[in-house]
Amino acid sequence: MGCLCGRQSVVIQGQKFHLIRQIGEGSFSYVFEARDTADNHLYAIKKMSCHTNEEEKRAQDEVENYQRFSHPSLVSLLYHEQMQYNPNSHVTSINGSLQDAFDKQTKFTTRVLLDLFLNVCEGVRQIHEKGMAHRDLKPSNIMLLNHSHTVILDFGSMTPASILMTTRSEAQQWQDWAEENCCVQYRAPELFHIETNSLITEKTDIFSLGGILYACCFGKGPFDDVYSRGDSVALAAASGRIELPVQSTTYPSNVIDLMLAMLQTEPDRRPSIIKIINIKLTKIVLDATQGTINDISQQLINLLKQYCTKTNTLQIQNIVLPINDSLNISTKSINIKFHYLKHLIVNECDGRLFPIIFSLAPCLTILSVTGPLLLKYFLKIPPPNTSYLIHIKTLELNCMQMDRQNRLNRLLNNLPTLFPYLEHVTVDINPKLYVDLRIIKTILDIFIKLISLKIQRTSKYILDKYTQDDRQVRNYFEIHSYRLNHSETYEIICKDSQLEIWL
């Protein structure tokens, strides 16, 4: 990719275009950014070199696939022409691809990211409703028109949605075809090894979409590192293990859950494109660096009025309030209740805003929060009134930024005081720190409603200053935990920097 040396031009059906730079490359084609000399608008031109009758038919099939659709989320075919030495060209307005954005380390806000992804899904729905599958969805095949709209490119690998492999030779033929036409980092597991009598469906696109959503969140695909190391992407995709970066806690849990559902190894377990679109992916984000309590409270109320029926998740971040500020807003405004909201994500926020948030959203039961924030605002002396936290049943606690063991221990020791009725607890701990097993045993025994406890990111477990291995950790809880001794069933998993206890 890069600029073209000199000014090259191409004429398609009487329209002259100056080629600016190459912006994409496939197995059989090149895509260029070009400018129309008549209206000065930017377009994309795809050149395909056809040296055989088979390659010419492939190009004609792609033209027919473009002509099947007319939707703002799918690329429009404006012109096409077959020329000697200059084969068909497809043109549409563009502004770079998703892959370009990732290469530039562009950071989308969560709202923009999800708007873009759902826009891609709308295009895929059009394809699936016509009984077709794209088969090569990847970031470089998704062009950005602006920060809220995308179009899907490259219909050259499109096939009927369902293909039954009736013979071994047919299965091998399609496997070879997938090797040549489907991007390896975003290829569904069932396309790496196709069995006789198996049915390949449009769910291959769903797996690719899961990889694209992962890349939108984290700037790279789930198997990019595997590919870069030269390891087997086929084995990685088939294993079903998707590693989530630390920043995964930045996004609503339903977004991560949907991503993982789309990346299931079994096609039947992946959601349909209709189900994906109907899931409430968006979240309300209040992001303000400074302002009075009144200003920010009113911003929050206005946002909730506008979006609360579209999502159950609220994210608060980067809120700074004046030191001596106090709330002076009408009682009528504060008495408004938004019962749809269930999940609160807090990255950085002044604790004085919490009573207002919980008053406006009394049905919040899931809290994703950072450890430093809890220490700073809820465990200070004298402690503030935190009675509104008793309704929280699921706590996702990110302590990755904590680098002092005494602070971590203090926070974990005080969890039962802050959240007495927790049912699910997940704590991400800085790998430099350790887990005191006595503290975890206390949490197990005190939380009478606890169903699951997960400690992630660290593999250091300490008991009386001695490091414990995985077997010793399990033995300790089984022998000393009152709760486990009185549970009919339980499960302890301790491996790969993760401790899970299920009751």
Q: Which one-letter DSSP state was computed for residue 141? A: G
Cβ-contact 484, 490 below 8 angstroms: yes
Q: Which residues contact 17 (CB under 8 A, 6 or more apart)?
A: 9, 10, 11, 34, 35, 36, 37, 43, 45, 91
Q: Which residue has the tokens 């994500």?
A: 345
Catalytic one among 100, 136, 205, 350? 136
Give me the numbers of helices (H) and strands (E) for the chain, helices first please: 17, 23
Contacts of 219 (CB under 8 A, 6+ apart): 102, 105
User: For residues 44 and 140, is the Cβ–Cβ distance under 8 A?
Assistant: no
Element (H, E) at 259: helix 253-262
Amino acid at 58: R
CA distances from 171 to 98, 131, 165, 176, 299 (A): 32, 21, 5, 9, 58
As a whole number of angstroms, the distance between CA 239 and CA 245 comes to: 18
Q: Which pair of tokens denotes residue 3?
A: 């600029």
Please, what's the b/e burial string for 197-208 (b: 16 or more CB within 10 A of its CB; e: otherwise)? ebebbbbbbbbb
User: Which residues are 448's β-sheet partners?
Assistant: none
Give just the sign of the alpha carbon dihedral 14, 20, 25, 31. negative
Please say if 205 is a catalytic residue.
no
What's the CA gap between 48 and 55, in Å, rounded? 9
**Which residues are identified as catalytic?**
136
